[in-house]
Every structure is written in C-alpha cells, then in structure tokens.
Amino acid sequence: MVNKTKETVNEDKIERSIVPIKAADLIEYIAQRKGMSVMNAMCRFYDSELSAKLYDNNAKWWYLDNETLYKLMEQERRLRDGDMDSKELQFVVFCVESYARRNNLSGLQAYSLFKAKNLISFLKNNFEVLHTQGEDYIMDEIRLYLKRRNKTLA
C-alpha cells in the first residue's frame, strides 16, 4: 500500500472541501449565463469532463474563475458533441423517439442510453446511409450496435 505524505492527505482534504463549493458556484454561473434552470445547469456540468477535472490535485482546476471554467467546459462540449445540421438532428430525434416507443422508454431515457453508448455519434457518422432506410432496418442497426457495444464493455 502506498503511504501518502501528510501534505498530500491535507491537500486531498482541502480539495474534497473546496470542490463541491466551487462546483455549486459554477453551476449557478452556468444557469445564469445560459438562462436555464439550476437543475439543467447541474446536468450540463456533470455531463462534462470538467466535473472530474476539478479534483485533479496536480492541475488545481478549482483555482480558476467561473468564466474560465465555463469557457473550457463549452469548448469541451463543442469538440465532443460537434454540430448537427437540421436533417441530422431530425434523424437522430426520429431514432431516439422510435427506440423509446419500441422499448417502452421515455424520450429522455432513450436519449440517455444513446448518449452513454455513443450512439448519437454512430448515427451522425452513418447518417448518409441510415437515413435512406426504413424504421425497422434502422432499429435493427441500433440493436446490433448496442449488442456489440455491450460485449466490448463487458
């Protein structure tokens, strides 16, 4: 077992105390800046890699001001999510809603699954082929993708 120095233990305690306060402050800032509810801002924050980076003892991200953290979070989000044109958006929403209906899920539950399994990127990357197919074919492709994805994660 690795022995932590007293200094490292104290730094860990400080971060565990400061980060939740910093996160709450940043969430309020996001809500105000985006004109959204605090609950939506909280989802946005925890959906970002920044929420974990705040605990990085070496980087000390929690020292940064809210504006800088907000800009870094938005930059990460743009790089990760990319933009969709309206046709791609309509197609992805169609897939989410079709999957939800066929599996007795809410749209939010289906979207969460798609996001967690990186299915939205799969649909965007294969839009040109998939959007020309019928609903049954698309749902079969989604089921196959999820089945393969679950095998690689197991």
pLDDT higher than 90, residue 50: no
Query: Closest Cα partner for 46 from 30, 35, 34?
Result: 30
Rounded Cα distance, 109 and 152, in Å: 22
Rounded Cα distance, 142 and 21, in Å: 40
> Under 8 Å CB-to-CB from 131, ≥6 apart: which residues?
87, 91
- How many CB atoms lie under 10 A from the CB of residue 19? 16
Determine if the pTM surpasses 0.75.
no
Query: Closest Cα partner for 95 from 73, 76, 80, 117?
Result: 117
DSSP letter at 35 equals: T
Of 27-41, 54-68, 105-119, the range with the lowest mean pLDDT is: 54-68
The pLDDT confidence band at residue 154, using thresholds 50, 70 and 90, is very low
Bigger pLDDT: 10 or 135? 135
